[in-house]
Amino acid sequence: MPSQSPTVTAGAPSPQQTVDLVVRLHQLESSTQAALATLRRSLIENVQPTRGALAHEAAIAFDLDDDQHALAMIDEVAQTVGISSLM
C-alpha cells in the first residue's frame, strides 16, 4: 500500500492577514515596476540609471508625490530580500 502524506488543511486567513498580504503584494509589484522601468530606460534609451531616476520611478509606481519616501519603500523591500540598504 503506497504511503500517503497527511493532508494539511489551513483555515482561511483572517481579514487582517488578507490585508497584509495585499499590501505586501502591492509593495513588491510597485518595487518591481520601478526597478524594471529604470532598467528599461537604461538599456533601451541609453540613460544612465541614477538614484534620482529610481526614486522618481518609485514615486510613480507607488503613486506618491515624495520621491524620497518612495525610494525608502523600495529600500525596505530590497532589505527583505537580502539587498543591503539603498539609502
pLDDT at 12: 80
The 10s digit of each residue's pLDDT in 25-71 is 999 999 999 999 999 999 999 999 999 999 999 999 999 999 999 99
pTM of the model: 0.76
Residue 64 CB burial class (10 angstroms; 0-12, 13-18, ≥19)? middle
Q: Where are the domains of the chain?
A: 15-80
Query: Model confidence at 84, in pLDDT bands (50, 70, 90)?
Result: confident
Lowest mean pLDDT among 9-13, 15-19, 41-45, 58-62: 9-13
- Reported as half-sphere exposure (CB side, CA atoms, 13 A), residue 47 has a value of 13
- Check whether 7 has a pLDDT greater than 80: no
pLDDT at 3: 52
